Amino acid sequence: MNADFTIENGDVVMTTQTLGNDETGVIESDGQLNTMNVGAISAPGDDVTIKNEGSVSTTALVLKEFFQRVEDW
C-alpha cells in the first residue's frame, strides 16, 4: 500500500518514496531526499503531486523516466 509522504525541514531521507493514486509528496525547505542506485520517487499512481521546496538527488537514471512522463502529460 502506498502513502503520502512528508520530509520535514532539516530531515534527510535515503529511501525511495512511493506515491499512489491521488497522493502527495512534500519535501519542506531544507528537507532532503537522497538515494543511491535507486530512484528517489516512484510515482506509478494517477494524479500524484510532488511539492519540493528542499532537494532531491539520486545516482540512478530513474528520474529520466519520471520527467518523461511529465513532459508527455
Tell me the per-residue pLDDT of 16-65, one tens digit each, with 9 for 90 and over. 999 999 999 999 999 999 999 888 999 888 999 999 999 999 887 655 55
Helix (H) or strand (E) holding 66: helix 62-72
| Residue 73 pLDDT class (50, 70, 90 cuts) | low
Residue 32 contacts residue 12 (beta carbons within 8 Å): yes
Which set of grid coordinates corresponds to residue 73? 502529460
CB 18: neighbour CB atoms within 10 A? 18
- Predicted TM-score (pTM) of the model is 0.77
| Residue 68 pLDDT class (50, 70, 90 cuts) | low
